[in-house]
Amino acid sequence: RHRFWETQPVGQFRDLGDPTVTEGPIEPPIPLSDVKPDPYTLPASYDWSTCDISDDAVATEVYNLLTANYVEDDENMFRFNYSREFLRWALRPPAYFTAWHIGVRVKSSKKLVAFITGVPARIRVRNDVVGMAEINFLCVHKKLRSKRLAPVMIKEVTRRVHLENMWQAAYTAGVVLPTPITTTQYWHRSLNPKKLIEVGFSRLGPRMTMSRTIKLYKLPDSVITPGFRKMELRDVPAVTRLLQGYLAQFVVAPDFDDADVEHWLLPREDVVESYVVECPQTHELTDFCSFYTLPSSILSNQNYSVLKAAYSYYNVATKTPLLQLMNDALIVAKQKEYDVFNALDVMHNGKFLKELKFGPGDGQLHYYLYNYRLQHPLKPSDLGLVLL
Ligand code: YNC
Ligand code: MG
């Protein structure tokens, strides 16, 4: 059924429920001198092209490829519209490798027609912290689909990851492949219900009028929690400690240090927003919440071309009730004119989704590990990892 994936070191469907499969790496590392030194062969009219996303012209080429060809919903109404600044953030974390930002160009015209990326991360699986690649932004131009280009790109990024002496990877996909470590679901909290209904993102509920719907989703004009403020550079050490303490309880989670927190969580305009709660008396940081900005193109509407969406990222509540903290996150997202606030049912998110009027989305997001097997799939609430 999966001509490519059946050849790869990933948990296979036949392994599911097999008590003799052990947890951990599937294949051992090989000597770096045994890693294939040359790139995989592409069809004759194409070339590999390492993409330096720092270069404005290259960032624009990648942005244009993804904007026209990246992930759409099942009904082809919306397509992710990652911004250039977002891509730079996503692709240049501490110790990133430019060689893992891989394009495919048409030889004759130099046109960028396919892309795949990896970034390094330390991911803890139970008690083992593993250096992994996080693979993302796999995209083949619509006109080149179903020609088995994707497997060549996956093999090439794997080769380049191996050359850095890393042997595992983490990735998510909307499609079912061998085999998910967990399957998560998106939930959506309307902030601008009128627009969401008009563009077909949501529907008016049964026996609901537009004005009742607007009232249902109304939020206060300003946050409730005393000491709730934007995260600053000086907060990095305290946020790292909060996150480390929180993420320790999940089976799979990133192992963040200060440099990771500074990169992934310090606010960047229109890319990532983070807030802390500073105790007004002790000035101690007790809580933290964050979301990233990922608009979607609206593919066919007269009045609107972009849906502004916030995606829940990492949240830690040690003193403020989680419900109140996330309600404040909704309030700031509403102030900043996001149309919708999305969250997966990972970590403790299940504890606030229904009460804060999130509704379940259609479509699932499957999480995968490469060359690392788990005995059993996890519950989404055992997962402490959000990929972009
Ligand atoms: C996918 N999303 O099953 P089999 S997510 C992985 N992830 O192989 P072809 C995928 N594999 O089943 P097309 C996949 N989608 O025969 C398809 N596949 O074994 C598998 N869409 O290849 C598929 N972006 O080239 C099949 O398919 C084989 O032309 C078929 O290209 C696929 O970024 C794609 O959804 C997705 O641009 C590029 O449809 C194309 O259709 C497209 O004939 C819209 O491919 C955008 C889109 C995917 C977003 C993402 C994560 C990717 C993870 C890749 C796996 C990484 C493994 C770890 C590597 C490092 C290891 C180390 C160490
Ligand atoms: Mg193809």
pLDDT, position 363: 83
Distance 120 CA to ligand 2 centre (A): 26
Ligand 1: residue whose CA is nearest its atom 59: 158
Nearest ligand (C-alpha, residue 139): 1
Q: Are 100 and 132 in contact (CB under 8 A)?
A: no
Burial class of residue 285, CB neighbours in 10 A (0-12, 13-18, 19+): buried
Residue 291 corresponds to which amino acid? F
Distance 368 CA to ligand 2 centre (A): 21
Domains 5-172 and 183-382 fall in the same CATH topology: yes
Indicate the CATH number for domain 5-172: 3.40.630.30
Distance 121 CA to ligand 1 centre (A): 21
Instruction: State yes or no: is 388 an active-site residue.
Output: yes
Count of CB atoms situated within 10 Å of the CB of 7: 10
Distance 185 CA to ligand 1 centre (A): 20
Candidates 91, 294, 374, 388; catalytic one = 388
Fold of the domain built from segment(s) 183-382? Aminopeptidase (3.40.630)
Nearest ligand (C-alpha, residue 130): 1
Residue boundaries of the structural domains of the chain: 5-172, 183-382
d(CA 66, CA 371): 28
With a Cβ cut-off of 6 Å, ligand 1 is lined by 2-5, 69-71, 133, 135-140, 145-151, 154, 157-158, 161, 166-169, 171, 173, 175, 177, 370-371
pLDDT per residue, tens digit, the chain (388 aa), is: 999 999 999 999 999 888 899 999 999 999 999 999 999 999 999 999 999 999 999 999 999 999 999 999 999 999 999 999 999 999 999 999 999 999 999 999 999 999 999 999 999 999 999 999 999 999 999 999 999 999 999 999 999 999 999 999 999 999 999 999 999 999 999 999 999 999 999 999 999 999 999 999 999 999 999 999 999 999 999 999 999 999 999 999 999 999 999 999 999 999 999 999 999 999 999 999 999 999 999 999 999 999 999 999 999 999 999 999 999 999 999 999 999 999 999 999 999 999 999 999 998 999 999 999 999 999 999 999 999 9
Pocket probe for ligand 1: among 138, 166, 365, the residue whose CB has the most ligand atoms within 8 Å is 138
pLDDT, position 267: 98
The structure tokens listed for 336 are 């900043």
Reported ipTM exceeds the 0.90 cut: yes
pLDDT, position 17: 86
Q: Which residues surround ligand 2, an ion (CB under 5 A)?
A: 140, 147, 149
